[in-house]
């Protein structure tokens, strides 16, 4: 199975761009600055036990209580194929648990409903052993037949279906084992079985229609649905039949929507909420920094360049722009220091991530000028399309100042978010900002996003990238996989359809009374691990 060019969806990339778009003014309760890096285990180094409490909460968990969560994104419902943002992933997987889990930090896969998964010699058959005695919240056992029906459900979805299209056949081996026969070798498939969109549902939706089921789903996750509203509260209650002994610890989770990011900050400061999800950098900077949740850098902000536009069709011009940018100023002014300068085009801290063979872009005005001088038709003017919020305005100003140094005048054009999205989809722009991230631990996740979205809306495609993606799927060793990724990084560096501006931390905050909450690299967390001290 190869999801390249067929992955027709917008992933967690939306989560960070939405958070950045919510930036506003905030009073500061602390003069402390964010650390440029946060300690986190190296990819692949963490425990395989998905239920383990995150490090730093050594005390025995306390059961009971309600967790109050403030979120800045609408909840899209429980229909797995319609979920695109972290707010939906977070809540959906707490009810409709995926077949495979990720560990607390999001750096590796971990057992869950599937206790073990193994490939045959040529990676064309994936055998999955189910954890014994896992049940849905109504007490019915989770069977291989439920898994087979779930796979058909995923495949039928117009958004995510192509991801699972390479599963040609499912074979029920016994009461606890199922085989997935693939159309071709694909060592990356387990990562997509860990997506929130790969939730396990009962066969035939438990005797209901799909529409009825999505309104009131029954899953094998740690929580049940009490009530939900897209722009209101989502209320989850403890699943007493959850297969992990003693979990979840919480009796209830109430996730409340707030369209105003400043409101999330005020609610957290007043202790009206326990957790604030997906904060913008400027809002996070206004909080007591001890409340900001630690997580490694991963989300990657980028400058998109429309390679189909005559002014930007020459990769030499795009490289020149890459060397003209002041990355430290962008990190400090636009992202409030929550991250580090880019070391490659791909989001960092993923399994088998490798850098390009040459150092990535850094500010070098003379080199930018020299490159531009060799271009056949160097542009003298360019347009930056953005939504009129604080962060984007700052980025536009820095961009205009930087490119002025190499003889390019940048026109700043503010539009509403809907128009900006439409222009990006239609290729009616020259420069625009964006951000993207994975939602599984493997580095191929963001690559498949780029390739399936017309080069992340830049119009760029590469046979070399496609070939290296396939080489990665066929690779037998981590060294072979990292070699393929290094070549992909080199393509994105040389061709420069987009320029990484910074590797950023996912930003969330929690009261000191909240324990066991560990953000994944992309900003979600396992609710069954969370508990409160009071």
360/498 same-domain check: yes
458/528 same-domain check: no
Write the CATH number for 450: 3.10.105.10
Residue 18 domain flag:
no
Residue 367 domain flag:
yes
219/339 same-domain check: no
Residue 30 domain flag:
no
Low-confidence ranges of the chain (pLDDT < 70): 1-58, 390
398/489 same-domain check: yes
β-pairing, 299-305 vs 381-387, is unpaired
458/337 same-domain check: yes
Interval 344-375: pLDDT, tens:
999 999 999 999 999 999 999 999 999 999 99
What range defines the domain where residue 374 resides?
297-505
Distance CA 508, CA 523 (A): 7
454/520 same-domain check: no
Of 464, 494, 432, the C-alpha closest to 302 is 432
106/206 same-domain check: yes
Residue 510 has a pLDDT of 98
345/254 same-domain check: no
Number of structural domains (the chain) is 2
Residue 289 domain flag:
no
520/498 same-domain check: no
392/349 same-domain check: yes
Residue 282 domain flag:
no
Residue 265 domain flag:
no
519/501 same-domain check: no
Residue 34 has a pLDDT of 56
Q: Kindly state the DSSP code that residue 311 receives in the 8-state scheme.
A: G
Q: Are 507 and 284 in contact (CB under 8 A)?
A: yes
343/240 same-domain check: no
Residue 38 domain flag:
no
Instruction: Find the angle CA(92)-CA(94)-CA(100) to the nearest 5 degrees.
Output: 95
What tokens does 286 get? 């206004």
Residue 179 domain flag:
yes
Residue 30 has a pLDDT of 32
Write the CATH number for 129: 3.40.190.10
């Amino acid at each position: 199975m190869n999801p390249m060019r067929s992955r027709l969806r917008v992933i967690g990339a939306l989560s960070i761009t939405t958070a950045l778009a919510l930036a506003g003014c905030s009073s500061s309760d602390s003069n402390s600055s964010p650390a440029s890096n946060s300690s986190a285990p190296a990819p692949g180094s963490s425990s395989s036990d998905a239920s383990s409490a995150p490090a730093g909460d050594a005390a025995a968990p306390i059961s009971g209580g309600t967790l109050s969560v403030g979120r800045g994104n609408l909840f899209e419902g429980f229909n797995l194929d319609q979920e695109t943002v972290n707010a939906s992933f977070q809540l959906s997987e707490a009810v409709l648990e995926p077949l495979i889990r990720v560990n607390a930090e999001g750096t590796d896969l971990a057992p869950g409903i599937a206790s073990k998964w193994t490939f045959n010699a040529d990676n064309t058959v994936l055998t999955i052993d189910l954890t014994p005695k896992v049940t849905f919240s109504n007490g019915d056992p989770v069977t291989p037949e439920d898994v087979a029906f779930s796979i058909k459900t995923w495949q039928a979805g117009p958004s995510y279906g192509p991801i699972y299209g390479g599963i040609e056949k499912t074979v029920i081996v016994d009461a606890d084992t199922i085989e997935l026969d693939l159309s071709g070798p694909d060592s990356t498939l387990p990562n997509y079985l860990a997506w929130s969109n790969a939730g396990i549902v009962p066969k035939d939706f438990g005797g209901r229609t799909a529409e009825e089921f999505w309104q009131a789903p029954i899953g094998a996750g740690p929580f049940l649905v009490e009530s939900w509203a897209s722009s209101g509260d989502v209320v989850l209650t403890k699943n007493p039949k959850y297969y992990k002994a003693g979990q979840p610890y919480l009796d209830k989770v109430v996730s409340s929507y707030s369209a105003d990011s400043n409101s999330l900050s005020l609610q957290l400061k007043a202790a009206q909420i326990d957790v604030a999800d997906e904060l913008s950098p400027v809002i996070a900077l206004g909080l007591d920094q001890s409340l900001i949740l630690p997580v490694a850098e991963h989300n990657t902000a980028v400058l998109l360049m429309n390679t189909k536009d005559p002014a930007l069709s020459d990769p030499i011009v795009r490289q020149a722009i890459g060397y003209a940018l002041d990355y430290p100023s962008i990190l400090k002014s636009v992202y409030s220091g929550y991250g580090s300068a880019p070391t490659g085009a791909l989001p960092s801290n993923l399994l088998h991530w490798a850098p390009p063979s040459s150092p990535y872009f850094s500010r070098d005005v003379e080199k930018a000028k020299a490159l531009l001088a060799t271009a056949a038709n160097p542009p003298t003017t360019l347009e930056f399309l953005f939504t009129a919020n604080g962060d984007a305005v700052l980025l536009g100003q820095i961009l205009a100042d930087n490119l002025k140094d190499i003889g390019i005048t940048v026109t700043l054009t503010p539009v509403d978010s809907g128009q900006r999205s439409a222009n990006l989809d239609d290729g009616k722009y020259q420069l625009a900002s964006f951000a993207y991230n994975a939602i599984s631990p493997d580095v191929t996740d963001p690559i498949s996003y780029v390739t399936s979205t017309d080069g992340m809306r830049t119009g760029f495609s590469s046979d070399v990238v496609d070939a290296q993606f396939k080489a990665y799927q066929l690779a037998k060793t981590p060294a072979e996989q990292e070699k393929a990724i290094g070549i992909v990084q080199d393509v994105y560096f040389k061709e420069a359809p987009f320029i990484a501006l910074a590797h950023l931390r996912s930003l969330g905050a929690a009261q000191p009374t909240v324990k066991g909450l560990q953000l994944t690299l992309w900003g979600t967390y396992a609710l069954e691990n969370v508990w409160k001290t009071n």
